[in-house]
Amino acid sequence: MARKLKKQRAERLDKDFRVPHTEIKMQLSVNKSEAPAYSATLVDLRRGDAAVLDRIDLPGDDARRLMELGFLPGATVVAGQSAPGGDPRVFRVDGSEIALRRETARKLKVRPTRAAAK
Amino acid sequence: MSECSDCRSCTTDPLGDTPAPGARPKAVALIGPPNSGKTTLFNRLTGLRQKVANFPGVTVEQHSGIAELPDGRTARIIDLPGVYSLSPRSEDERVAHDVLTGARPGTAKPEAILLVLDSTNLRRHLMLAAPILSLGVPTLVILNMADDLRSRGGHLDTSALASQLGAPVALISARQGEGMEQVWEFLAGAMPMPEPTELPVLHDVPKCRQWAGRVGGEAGYHPPAPPQWTRRLDAVFLHPIGGPLVFAAVVLLVFQTIFSYAKPLMDGVTWGFETSGNWFASQVPWPVLRSLVEVVWVKGAGSVIVFLPQVLLLYMFIGILEDSGYLARAALIADRTMARVGLQGKSFIPLLSAYACAVPAIMATRTIENKRDRFATILIAPFMTCSARLPVYLLIIAAFIPDRPLLGAFLSMQTAAMLGLYLLGFVAAVGTARILKSSILKSGHTPFLLEMPSYRWPTFRSIGLRLLDRGKVFLRRVGTVILVVTAILFVLTKLPLVHGEAPPIESSLAGTIGRTIEPVIRPLGFNWKIGIGLITSLASRETIISSLGSIYGMDQSNKAGLRQALRRDLTPGGALALLIFFAFAMQCVSTIAVVRRETGGWKWPALQFAYMSVLAYAGAFAAFHIVG
């Protein structure tokens, strides 16, 4: 009974707020046949490392905003400075510096490049 | 009304004024990605002084102003919040989107667009040109920050870009005023419809980016070298150990400055005020009027004005943080702490600006995409120590804490007490956020994305103008709200007349009101005089100083001044209780009004007011009983 009430209350609150996002995932891949071969993500990059972005495992809206900021499949991403403790980290992509939390960076899969850019 | 009711950075656009038809100026909207310099251009075109700073998301609503064209006609310029695309995710982006598409009630669809892009990051920023040009509205594409582009060795061919986009292109520097004639020319000219050679599928971001890259390439765009200084500074400011140390050192320096270096300035202001007030009083023939001038002006308003130097120092510090680009780094460093309480680094930017005033801070939460995070930030923002609390803290600390060094010349006991109060406000805010985010405002995560702007040197001009504006706002408030409230209080202390004479203050109307509420505040260690001060502080927090100044100033037996009088009337526990009460209570009509507007109802401001009042009372009660 109490649980039901709680649920009702939560639903009422949800009417006040837009639900942040749906659960539909958008997967973008430049080269589908190769994509599963790598499971490295932006989190695995250390400072100064560069990698080519492969796909974004995030709901459509979030992936779209990341792409608008330059995180497009095929773009080169360079890991930069981070906040103390390593999270969040600044990534250089497409001429800008964007800070991402670890939980987000983990969803951005990369193909490592041979040379680390400096 | 606090200082913010008249701060122009947050007034809504007075769009109701429609001039006679025919003479109606063209409406021209400024649009572009965040931090591309739209407001800098707006200020240059209209001669207004909207707030400009170096981080994304400074402008969160539409502002409009009139630009006078060289030929004598006018154009109405509408400044809009920055957008990355025309698919809005947050409240500020929605405002921009709605105005552009004509969906905003009360705002006519703009007849022309100034698309402002950052020329140092043109390839990505050009993506926004696709949806804007497809709106079919005459557009001037403005490539801003030409000075940065040049100094870092980038270049492009604007005429080639113009023919690619089918719209005129102007390479300008809004900050330096370079290239402005092209903007004036467009505003005064025929404003042709854009005829782009080719546009990508708008909803496909990769296609848009490819298109932008190709167009930039055709225009011979050569991106500038990466900003070396930004990299070097970040290596220091974001250093795991050095970064926080630098931050702590700067904060200490600022607070120490507010206490010690501001002293001579403060003494100067006090001297000037007393001399002029006493001279003026001596010129007034009637004794009643003379005592009004003495009590209300010199002892009342004067006791608040002396804090002007400190308040301006605080604003200068905040201005440097905002204009240099450090604020975005501070948000980055704070993100972990914010994550622990369920918020994100983006909430930290409004919270930092709440150190100046909660009203613009609450408006600034519009950049937070997740609505529940946004509401939580709105609810905790008034806990941050705003500049109206500063004079109250300064007065009570100076009266009760000895001025002894604690860490040599770096930190005195008074500075430490002040830091403690700022910390207390922050802890209350963060603790409340934790409660809210684990109960009524629980939500899923929205990714934290924050663009780091390049560092820029804050200019004397921009900081100076800000201080001038803030100084005016402060003095206007002292001259209006505070003076009026103090004058009313003065009258209330002289009524009702007994045999044609003013009664003793205890039995005057003001005294009666004070003594009526005394039972409620007695447990906090406050007497009825403090009670009167608390009531008047509802108008604006600093009013308590002028009320107490005039109440104690009327007492002829007390010549020693406000500090001594406070020491006589408050125990150390009572003083601490008063500080804690001010730290927690939501004594600000403007904040309540802006929370109501931003949350769309009375529910949240009522909850917030009740919560903060209970916390203030309980905190003060505990402080008084523990310290005694």
SS3 per-residue string spanning B492-532: HHHCCCECCECCCHHHCHHHHHHHHHHHHHHHHCCCHHHHH
| Single-letter residue type at B322 | E
| Alpha carbon of residue B610 to chain centroid | 24
- CA-nearest residue to B599 within chain A is A16
Distance CA B587, CA B612 (A): 9
Q: What is the DSSP letter of B429?
A: H
Nearest chain B Cα distance for residue A37, angstroms = 23
* Residue of B450, B599, B607 to mutate, testing the A interface (most A Cβ within 10 Å of its Cβ): B450
Pairing of strands B74-79, B63-68: antiparallel
Over chain A (118 residues), what is each successive 10-residue block's mean pLDDT?
Answer: 57 49 47 53 88 89 88 91 87 91 90 55
Decide if A68 and B450 are in contact by the 8 Å CB cutoff. no
Q: Residues of B160-177 as b/e, b for ≥16 C-beta within 10 angstroms?
A: ebbbbbbbbbbbbbbbee
Decide if A66 and B121 are in contact by the 8 Å CB cutoff. no
Distance CA B254, CA B429 (A): 22
Residue from the list B84, B234, B332 with its beta carbon closest to the beta carbon of A69: B84
Residue B443: CB atoms within 10 A of its CB come to 18
Decide if B205 and A17 are in contact by the 8 Å CB cutoff. no
Q: Check if A46 contacts B (Cβ < 8 Å).
A: no
Q: Check if A32 contacts B (Cβ < 8 Å).
A: no
Decide if B209 and A72 are in contact by the 8 Å CB cutoff. yes
SS3 track for A5-28: HHHHHHHHHHHHCCCCCCCCEECC
What are the CB-based long-range contacts (under 8 Å, 24+) for B512-515? none
Residues 6+ apart with CB under 8 A from B136: B193, B194
Tell me, what's the pLDDT at B342? 84
Residue from the list A90, A95, A101 with its beta carbon closest to the beta carbon of B123: A95
Nearest chain A Cα distance for residue B291, angstroms = 55
| Single-letter residue type at B585 | A
Decide if A67 and B209 are in contact by the 8 Å CB cutoff. yes
**Side-chain half-sphere CA neighbours of B465 within 13 A:** 13
Cβ-Cβ contacts under 8 Å, A87 against chain B: 335-336
Distance CA A58, CA A106 (A): 10
Cα–Cα distances (Å) from B452 to A99, B24, B328, B457, B626, in that order, read 7, 40, 6, 15, 46
Cα–Cα distances (Å) from B434 to A17, B344, B377, in that order, read 19, 12, 11
Nearest chain A Cα distance for residue B279, angstroms = 58
Instruction: Name the residue with tokens 């981080």.
Output: B55
Cβ-Cβ contacts under 8 Å, B339 against chain A: 101
Nearest CA to B84 out of A22, A70, A91, A105 is that of A70
Decide if B127 and A18 are in contact by the 8 Å CB cutoff. no
Contact (CB, 8 A) for B548 and B528: no
Fold classified for B3-226: Rossmann fold (3.40.50)
Q: What are phi and psi of B267, to 5 degrees?
A: -60, -40
Residue A24: CB atoms within 10 A of its CB come to 8
Contact (CB, 8 A) for B51 and B469: no
B560 burial type by CB count under 10 A (0-12 exposed, 13-18 middle, 19+ buried): exposed
Angle at B132 between CA B128 and CA B136, to 5 degrees: 160
Decide if A69 and B449 are in contact by the 8 Å CB cutoff. yes
Tell me, what's the pLDDT at A98? 93
Cβ-Cβ contacts under 8 Å, B328 against chain A: 99
Give me B490's structure tokens: 């003065």
Nearest chain A Cα distance for residue B57, angstroms = 14
Decide if A99 and B120 are in contact by the 8 Å CB cutoff. no
Q: Check if A30 contacts B (Cβ < 8 Å).
A: no
Nearest chain A Cα distance for residue B520, angstroms = 36
Q: Check if A20 contacts B (Cβ < 8 Å).
A: yes
Over chain B (628 residues), what is each successive 10-residue block's mean pLDDT?
Answer: 40 42 75 92 90 85 89 90 88 91 85 94 91 91 93 91 92 92 90 81 84 90 87 88 85 80 80 81 78 79 85 88 89 85 83 88 89 92 91 90 78 87 93 89 79 89 88 88 88 80 81 89 89 88 88 68 84 92 90 92 94 94 88
Nearest chain B Cα distance for residue A113, angstroms = 21
Q: Check if A103 contacts B (Cβ < 8 Å).
A: yes
* Residue of B83, B92, B121, B124 to mutate, testing the A interface (most A Cβ within 10 Å of its Cβ): B124
Nearest chain A Cα distance for residue B237, angstroms = 9
Instruction: Name the residue with tokens 């870092």.
Output: B152
Strand partners, B76: B27, B66
Q: Check if A34 contacts B (Cβ < 8 Å).
A: no
Cβ-Cβ contacts under 8 Å, A57 against chain B: none
- CA-nearest residue to B234 within chain A is A81
Tell me, what's the pLDDT at B70? 85
Nearest CA to B394 out of B621, B590, B582, B586 is that of B582
Cβ-Cβ contacts under 8 Å, A82 against chain B: 238
- What are chain A's domains? 22-112 (2.30.30.90)
Instruction: Name the residue with tokens 């004070």.
Output: B514
Distance CA B24, CA B74 (A): 9
- CA-nearest residue to B238 within chain A is A83
First-to-last CA distance in chain B?
34
Taking only Cα atoms into account, the Rg of chain A, rounded to an integer number of angstroms, comes to: 18
Nearest CA to B79 out of B68, B90, B102, B95 is that of B95
Decide if A68 and B223 are in contact by the 8 Å CB cutoff. no
Contact (CB, 8 A) for A100 and B448: yes
- CA-nearest residue to A84 within chain B is B240
In terms of DSSP H, where are the helices of B538-602? 543-554, 562-569, 572-584, 589-599
Residue from the list B121, B206, B443 with its beta carbon closest to the beta carbon of A96: B121
First-to-last CA distance in chain A?
61
pTM value?
0.82
Residues 6+ apart with CB under 8 A from B327: B53, B54, B55, B321, B349, B352
Residue B138: CB atoms within 10 A of its CB come to 20
Residue from the list A67, A88, A99 with its beta carbon closest to the beta carbon of B206: A67
Residue B491: CB atoms within 10 A of its CB come to 13
Distance CA B93, CA B365 (A): 12
| Single-letter residue type at B564 | Q
Contact (CB, 8 A) for A85 and B336: yes
- Count contacts between A and B (CB, < 8 Å): 121
Cβ-Cβ contacts under 8 Å, B233 against chain A: none
Q: What are phi and psi of B82, to 5 degrees?
A: -70, 145
Q: What is the DSSP letter of B110?
A: P
Strand partners, B63: B79
Q: What is the DSSP letter of B293?
A: I
Residue from the list B235, B345, B372 with its beta carbon closest to the beta carbon of A17: B372
Give me B15's structure tokens: 């769009």
Distance CA B256, CA B406 (A): 12
Residue from the list B89, B121, B238 with its beta carbon closest to the beta carbon of A61: B89
SS3 track for chain A: CHHHHHHHHHHHHHHHCCCCCCCCEECCCCCCCCHHHCCCEHHHCCCCCEEEEEEECEEHHHHHHHHHCCCCCCCEEEEEEECCCCCCEEEEECCEEEEECHHHHCCEEEEECCCCCC
- CA-nearest residue to B203 within chain A is A64
Tell me, what's the pLDDT at B2? 39
Decide if A90 and B234 are in contact by the 8 Å CB cutoff. yes
Confidence check on the interface: ipTM exceeds 0.85, yes or no: no
Tell me, what's the pLDDT at B558? 55
Nearest chain B Cα distance for residue A98, angstroms = 4
Q: What are phi and psi of A107, to 5 degrees?
A: -90, -5
Cβ-Cβ contacts under 8 Å, A42 against chain B: none
Tell me, what's the pLDDT at B560? 63
| Single-letter residue type at B293 | V
Residue from the list B124, B206, B369 with its beta carbon closest to the beta carbon of A95: B124
A84: left (phi over 0), alpha (psi -120 to 50) or beta: beta
Q: Residues of A99-114 as b/e, b for ≥16 C-beta within 10 angstroms?
A: bbbbebbebbbbbeee
Tell me, what's the pLDDT at B12? 41
Decide if A101 and B335 are in contact by the 8 Å CB cutoff. yes
Tell me, what's the pLDDT at B98? 92
Contact (CB, 8 A) for B191 and B124: no
Distance CA B538, CA B541 (A): 6
Nearest chain B Cα distance for residue A59, angstroms = 10
